Structure 1
Amino acid sequence: MSAQTPVWFIAAASSGFGKYIALEALKRGHRVIASARSTSRISDLADAGAVTLALDVTWPQEQIEKVAKEANDKYGYINHLVNAAGYILVGAVEETSPKEDYDHFNTNVFGTLNTCKAFLPYLRSTPGHRTISNFGSIGSWVGGAGYALYSGTKFAISGISEGLRAELAPLGIAVTVVEPGYFRTGFLNASARVSAAKTIQAYEDSVVGSVRRRIEETDNRQRGDVEKGCKVIVDILTREGVAEGKEVPERVVLGSDAPGVVRGKLERTEALLKEWEGVTTNTDHE
Structure 2
Amino acid sequence: MSTKTWFITGASKGFGLEFVQQLLAKGHNVAATSRKLSDLEKAAGSHENFLPLEMDITNEESVAKAINATLAKFGSLDTVVNNAGYGLIGAVEELSDAEARKNFEVNVFGSLNVIRQAMPHLRAQKSGHIINISSIGGYVGAFPGFGIYCATKFAVNGFTEALAVEAKPFGIDVTVVMPGYFRTNFLESDSIVVPQNQIDSYQSTRDSQRIHQQEINGNQPGDPVKGVAAIIEASEAQNPPLYLFLGSDSVAMGEAKSDTIKQEIGAWRELSTGTDFN
TM-score (norm 1): 0.92
Query: What is the CA-CA distance between 1:92 and the residue it aligns to?
Result: 0.3
Find the residue that maps to 2:12 and give its secondary structure: coil
Find the residue that maps to 1:202 and give its secondary structure: coil
How much identity, in percent, do the aligned residues show?
36
Counterpart Cα distance in 1 of 2:20 and 2:239: 21
Counterpart Cα distance in 2 of 1:19 and 1:13: 5
2:246 is matched with 254
2:43 aligned with 1:51, yes or no?
A: no
Give the letter for the 2:264 counterpart: L
Counterpart Cα distance in 1 of 2:226 and 2:136: 18
Counterpart Cα distance in 1 of 2:276 and 2:73: 57
Contact 2:56 2:62 survives alignment (8 Å): no
Find the residue that maps to 1:235 and give its secondary structure: helix
5 Å matches for 1:47-196?
47-49=46-48, 50-59=50-59, 61-126=60-125, 130-143=128-141, 144-196=143-195
1:278 is matched with 270
> In the alignment, which of 35, 49, 69 is matched to residue 37 of structure 1?
35
Give the letter for the 1:91 counterpart: G
Question: Deviation digits for residues 7-59 of structure 1, max 9, x if unmatched?
Answer: 11111101111111111110101110111011111113242441111111111
Counterpart Cα distance in 2 of 1:271 and 1:210: 30
- Measured on the aligned residues, the alpha-carbon RMSD in Å equals 1.3
Query: What is the CA-CA distance between 1:134 and the residue it aligns to?
Result: 0.4
Question: Deviation digits for residues 41-94 of structure 1, max 9, x if unmatched?
Answer: 1113242441111111111x2332122112111111111100001111101011
Give the letter for the 1:209 counterpart: R
Query: What is the CA-CA distance between 1:178 and the residue it aligns to?
Result: 0.7
2:228 aligned with 1:213, yes or no?
A: no
Query: What is the CA-CA distance between 1:124 and the residue it aligns to?
Result: 2.1
**Please, which runs of 5 or more residues in structure 2 have no aligned partner?**
none
Counterpart Cα distance in 2 of 1:266 and 1:233: 22
Q: How many residues end up aligned between the 2 structures?
A: 274
Give the letter for the 2:112 counterpart: L
Question: Deviation digits for residues 180-228 of structure 1, max 9, x if unmatched?
Answer: 010000000012100011111110x3x2122111111211111111011
Counterpart Cα distance in 2 of 1:56 and 1:220: 29
Give the letter for the 1:72 counterpart: L
Give the letter for the 2:86 counterpart: Y
Query: What is the CA-CA distance between 1:125 and the residue it aligns to?
Result: 2.8
Query: What is the CA-CA distance between 1:156 and the residue it aligns to?
Result: 0.6
Find the residue that maps to 2:268 and give its secondary structure: helix
Find the residue that maps to 1:223 and give its secondary structure: coil
1:263 is matched with 255
Contact 1:78 1:126 survives alignment (8 Å): no
**Please, which runs of 5 or more residues in structure 1 have no aligned partner?**
240-245
Counterpart Cα distance in 1 of 2:132 and 2:192: 19
